[in-house]
Amino acid sequence: MEIKIGTKQILKFLYILSWIIFIGVCIEAGGFIFNTFYAMVLNPMGAENYWNGLDLSSLYNFDQGYFLVITFYMIIVAVLRALIFYLFIRLLHGKKLDLSHPFTIEFRNFISLVAYIALGIGLFSKMGMQYSAWLSTKGVTMPDLEYLRLGGPDVWFFMGVILLVISQIFKRGIEMQNDNELTI
Amino acid sequence: MPIVVNLDVMMAKRKMSLNELSEKVELTLSNLSILKTGKAKAIRFSTLEAICKVLECQPGDILEFVE
């Protein structure tokens, strides 16, 4: 039996996958926000098991302000990651992606927006990474960047730049598509 | 736009409606309308050939350059 996998099926799969990832990153972002509030306001022990075994108690005991800054970077990056997937879900859900006329201003705006968000994630990850390195020089035992979810800022920068280039190509594609539509 | 499409003039001379022309040249009404109203950016030679054949005219009868 031959199974054909067309573009529609791939988009459907990506839509479902995006939802799963979106829910995951939302839970993570929500967890960061709640645990920061919990540790700062209700119970300092919350810093010991901050998220998925991440122990920030050393940082919390050293200085609550520094703890707040690191968690701020983590929250911003998590929220921006959730935002990317939200935008993608919104694009696919609203069926704004018409493959017979793919070069639309909406899709181009989506690509540009995701590019800027990716650059933002890269920037905040980089800042968080450098802040964490500075804290290590102060004698604070800092967990690995992967646990802080601040790793790989260069990858986000690369993605942002590539998407900006693609959005420029899309701009030209829109012009060509419009000309083609008005060619009788 | 400097290029003016005088399709309606030729259609009136040949006493042909847009619907009839659309059927004979095998173009959609919307495309013909785009051409007639001067919104078209380009026209294919094949389309021009089909229109000239049906309206029994020259390309210059349909397309005019105006400064």
What's the pLDDT tens digit per position in B11-67? 999 999 999 999 999 999 999 999 999 889 899 999 999 999 999 999 999 999 998
Q: Look at A32-41, A125-134, A146-155 and tell me which has the smallest mean pLDDT.
A: A146-155
CA-derived radius of gyration, chain A: 21
Residues A141, A177: Cα–Cα separation, whole Å = 56
Read off the tokens for A45.
């022990």
- Tell me what percent of the residues of chain A surpass a pLDDT of 90: 58
* β-bridge partners, A179: none
Sequence-ordered alpha helix ranges (H) in chain A: 7-37, 57-62, 64-93, 105-137, 145-148, 153-181
What's the pLDDT tens digit per position in A47-69? 888 888 888 888 999 999 999 99
Output the pTM of the full model. Answer: 0.81
ipTM of the complex: 0.83
CA-based nearest distance A103→chain B, Å:
18
Q: Set out the domains of chain B in order of their start, with CATH numbers.
A: 3-58 (1.10.260.40)
What's the pLDDT tens digit per position in A111-148? 999 999 999 999 999 999 999 999 999 888 888 888 88
CB of A96 within 8 A of CB of A31?
no
pLDDT at site A150: 86
Whether A183 sits inside 8 A of B44 (CB atoms) is yes
Q: Please measure the distance between the N-terminal and C-terminal CA atoms of chain A and give it in whole angstroms.
A: 43
Is any Cβ of chain A less than 8 angstroms from the Cβ of B33? no
Is any Cβ of chain B less than 8 angstroms from the Cβ of A176? no
Residues A104, A177: Cα–Cα separation, whole Å = 9
Whether A184 sits inside 8 A of B39 (CB atoms) is no
pLDDT at site A2: 67
pLDDT at site A35: 93
Is any Cβ of chain B less than 8 angstroms from the Cβ of A174? no
CA-derived radius of gyration, chain B: 11
Nearest to B4 by CA among B59, B57, B54: B59
Contacts of A42 (CB under 8 A, 6+ apart): none
Q: Binning pLDDT at 50, 70 and 90, where does residue A3 land?
A: low
**Which residues of chain A lie closer than 8 angstroms to B39, CB-CB?**
182
What is the total residue count of chain A? 184
